[in-house]
Structure 1
Amino acid sequence: MLQLTYRRYDLPFEYPFAIAKGTKTHQPTLVLSLGLGRLTGYGEATEIGYYNARLDEMIVLLEKNRSTIEHYALNGPERFWHFLHHLLPGQPFLIAALDMAGWDLWAQLNRRPLYAMIGLQWKNIPPTDYTIGINEPAEIRQRVAEKPYPVYKLKMGGGHDLQALEALRGATDARIRIDANEAWSLDEARLLLPELERLDVELIEQPLHRDDKEGMIALKQLTHIPLIADEACREEKDVPSCLELYDGINIKLAKCGGLTPALNMIRAAKQARKKVMLGGMCESNVGATVLAHLLPLADYADIDGPLLLKENAGRGLIYDGASISLPAGQTGTGIFM
């Protein structure tokens, strides 16, 4: 019989984190575990208002379904995901956390690292970017001085986007990625594109609203900069349309409901010869470590949640600047609490 436990955290950011959808100083998160004998698998769900992901609601659902979950006979993570998908409809963040824990536990039962359990080798690992939120130019220059990285992601949509980008490019010759979080109109994007190209932007993530398909068709014809879907690609059913409109997709376990659907989304993107970005929802070391096991499949990594937080839950993945590695000799995900 499985043993379900969970703990709620309110983790402070090192700096206030501002995006087009709001600013926050702390990240509420729920770390849960599934135990079986001496083994324990871990997962994590963050609270994200614009996705209607609320920890209070998740906790109520966990208690309501505790007995059903604990009496589930774990016979493979894919079957466990389908069980959760029917048990907790409309709760991808919570399903993802339980799915993470299920995969972790299953890999430990099979005495293999998670990445090996899904048929991967730990090689060709892309460096993660470091995200800088919406800030004044002077703050951006100071952030680069304090946090030197080879790849940055700059949040946009604050009304002074070009000045922010110029400040970042003036402070570093690193690769720069842009994330507008749906904040631009087509006209705004059209005006910015020549400057983004001049300042050597590597990619643009979710420039327009996720429903603006006509705008994306037009935008894609205006630039050679890769356009990556984020909010437009929430779950597996969104992939076909996104692969037509974008050059790649940002896959986040919380959005799509866990590793099980994420693997299907990655396969679809690879088959269409599109780019794969792996991103997070400001998860701590727990969620970030689980996601990191998919890095051999990624073209771009955006797994910087633990780098943005002043305090973290758990231990797992290891950062050496932008390089990510996993604990040696561990089975499962390698998470320790």
Structure 2
Amino acid sequence: MQLDLKKYILPLKHTFSISRESHDFQNTLIASLSLNGQTGYGEATSNPYYKISVESMMAEINAIRTAIQAYTFTTPEIFHTFLTHKGLSNFAICALDLAAHDLFGKLKGKPLYEIWNTNLDHYPTTNYTIGIASIEKMVAKMQETPWPIYKIKLGTDNDVNIVKELRKHTDAIFRIDANCAWTAEETIFNAPLLKDLGVEFLEQPLKADDWDGMEKVMHHSVLPIIADESCILESDVEKCGLHFSGINIKLTKCGGLTPALRMIKEGKDLGLKVMVGCMTESSVGISAIAQLLPQLDYVDMDGSMLLKEDIADGIIISKDASLIYPKLGGSGITLR
């Protein structure tokens, strides 16, 4: 099995700001695995919050390059176990796991959603993210991309007023992501005000380890609360079941599609709403997320829409928010 790694620097359409950071570019790793004339592609972005860089992922993978290239590939799940035993970070595993799934589907000549015995009769619409900026710039972003659902990044001293102003310009559903910036008291206070402004749910308002605060919020918030930073690994799902209404699974954080599939099942078994989210990534990562859509309640897969220029072709997100799935097997990815 041939392994290739390449770093890309993805320029963004607009400066992207959340409560703890801002950036104009996103560094990302594209991994490719080739076998029997087919090539599968996977992606994992750098992330300063988790102290992950493209260089650190490449170093990890290159340290076991010989073992990977000598590996006898059968299924992505068995390959994932092999990678886990090698001690790679979840981000590095994600890039390889996504590539393995794309390769597996291409070898089978079937898209992943079909291999998983799901169909596209019903699937959720992705939200479009509006990062923190001046109200004028946030409104301009909405007007530039009219969309049925917006995720609004908050974590300022003026959060409710921001939503009031944005509401004047659209009838779209709002979802709020405070990225750990609020306290329990703020969340409980803000929730009814935001509900009246057409907010569907709140994503990770409190710090990831504030379990006591989340328990308080769970009992007093009038809006559902979705875990993000509190739900990284498979082992987090059960605990989140006691403190949240739902979970947002990030493929890069959990280690790819293989653990994500198990997390989706466990979340549903616990009665949680299940969402999969993205980083600011190319169509390589987004097309992998798209394969999971029939299994999800919510999805945030707008990463490639935030880029000035994509590096790959795969799932197409149309201007009316509908999707056009690629005809290739796997995740259907071709690199430009």
TM-score bracket for this pair, using the shorter chain length: over 0.9
Cα deviation, 1:254-302, whole Å, max 9, x if unaligned, reads 0100111000000011112211111011111100001110000111110
Matched length = 334
Give the counterpart letter for 1:127 in structure 2: T
Tell which deviates more after alignment, 313-322 or 302-311: 313-322
Partner of 1:240: 238
Partner of 1:191: 189
- Check if 1:209 corresponds to 2:207: yes
Per-residue deviation, 1:31: 0.8
Partner of 2:159: 161
| Equivalent-residue separation in structure 2 for 1:216 and 1:62 (angstroms) | 37
Checking the alignment, whether the CA contact within 8 Å between 2:226 and 2:246 is kept in structure 1 is yes
Q: How does 1:1-337 map to 2 (within 5 A)?
A: 2-89=1-88, 91-321=89-319, 322-327=321-326, 329-337=327-335
| Equivalent-residue separation in structure 1 for 2:301 and 2:323 (angstroms) | 9
Checking the alignment, whether the CA contact within 8 Å between 1:19 and 1:156 is kept in structure 2 is yes
| Equivalent-residue separation in structure 2 for 1:227 and 1:299 (angstroms) | 14
Checking the alignment, whether the CA contact within 8 Å between 1:128 and 1:323 is kept in structure 2 is no
Per-residue deviation, 1:316: 0.3
Checking the alignment, whether the CA contact within 8 Å between 1:140 and 1:164 is kept in structure 2 is no
| Equivalent-residue separation in structure 2 for 1:145 and 1:288 (angstroms) | 23
| Equivalent-residue separation in structure 2 for 1:141 and 1:291 (angstroms) | 28
Q: Secondary structure of 1:62's match?
A: helix
Per-residue deviation, 1:168: 1.4
Q: Secondary structure of 1:18's match?
A: strand
Q: Secondary structure of 2:247's match?
A: strand
Cα deviation, 1:135-181, whole Å, max 9, x if unaligned, reads 11111221111110000000011222112211211111100000011
Per-residue deviation, 1:26: 0.3
| Equivalent-residue separation in structure 1 for 2:160 and 2:176 (angstroms) | 11
- Normalising to structure 1: TM-score of the pair? 0.97
| Equivalent-residue separation in structure 1 for 2:187 and 2:329 (angstroms) | 46
| Equivalent-residue separation in structure 2 for 1:183 and 1:136 (angstroms) | 18
Q: Secondary structure of 1:124's match?
A: coil
Checking the alignment, whether the CA contact within 8 Å between 1:137 and 1:163 is kept in structure 2 is no
Per-residue deviation, 1:121: 1.2
| Equivalent-residue separation in structure 1 for 2:107 and 2:43 (angstroms) | 20
Q: Deviation above 6 Å: which 4+ runs of structure 1?
A: none
| Equivalent-residue separation in structure 1 for 2:139 and 2:330 (angstroms) | 40
| Equivalent-residue separation in structure 2 for 1:212 and 1:325 (angstroms) | 40
- What is the RMSD computed on CA atoms of the aligned residues? 1.1
- Residues 191 and 223 of structure 1: CA distance in aligned 2, closer, same or farther (over 3 Å): closer
Per-residue deviation, 1:98: 0.3
Cα deviation, 1:83-141, whole Å, max 9, x if unaligned, reads 0011134x111101100111111112222111111221122111110000011111122
- Normalising to structure 2: TM-score of the pair? 0.97
Q: Secondary structure of 1:125's match?
A: coil
Give the gaps of 5 or more residues in structure 2.
none
Give the counterpart letter for 2:331 in structure 1: T
Cα deviation, 1:16-66, whole Å, max 9, x if unaligned, reads 000012000000001110001210000001001001111111111222211
Give the counterpart letter for 1:69 in structure 2: I
| Equivalent-residue separation in structure 2 for 1:53 and 1:236 (angstroms) | 19
